[in-house]
Amino acid sequence: MIEEPRKRIGDARLVAGGFDGFVAVEWLRDAASVSGALAAWDQGALAVATVGKAWDVVRMPRALGWKTVTQMRQHGTPVGPAQHTPDGVEVLVPVGSAAEWHLPDAEVLTKGTITVPHPATIAPRTQMAHSWIVSPQEGGPLTDADLLHEAYAAAIAATHMDATR
């Protein structure tokens, strides 16, 4: 049985803890049609957002991306919106700030589009195989690309050390 989209969004509100039904869309305003995003989410679909206008995206492999974001949060480093997708973990960073990235398996997206779930769809809940690790609903700033780079490099090093033990 397919759930009604409004019920799924309502259920996501409960999981998000403190989500009062207001959808923060400022992060999306320059990257997508807000009305189009709201309509997509209301229908249970993902919204399409343009990369390179309001923010760029750093895409990392799933395991390393989760490790990077988790490590940053545990160390009190501010992390902006970050989502888990079928392609990996995507973190929103200021436009042009990650242009010099040269780390294995990371991809910097400066143009094109990505799809994003409703801001209340927070892991472990998913919407079409997407979920927010750090929701834009939290209202934080975009992730500092230099700090993300350091954390990603540390996650790679830790993974290699674990593999050699």
CB-count exposure of residue 40 (10 Å: 0-12, 13-18, 19+): buried
Residues 49 and 92 sit within 8 Å (Cβ to Cβ): no
Q: What is the pTM of this model?
A: 0.84
pLDDT at 21 (0 to 100): 53
The residues with which 57 forms a beta bridge, in sequence order, are 92, 109
Output the tens digit of pLDDT for each of the chain's 165 residues. 444 444 444 444 333 443 445 566 888 888 888 889 999 999 999 999 999 999 999 999 999 999 999 999 999 999 999 999 999 999 999 999 998 888 899 999 999 999 999 999 999 999 999 999 999 988 678 999 999 999 999 999 998 777 666
pLDDT at 10 (0 to 100): 44
The closest of 112, 57, 44, 104 to 85, measured between CA atoms, is 57
pLDDT at 84 (0 to 100): 97
pLDDT at 33 (0 to 100): 87
Q: What is the DSSP letter of 53?
A: T
pLDDT at 159 (0 to 100): 85
pLDDT at 66 (0 to 100): 96
pLDDT at 16 (0 to 100): 40
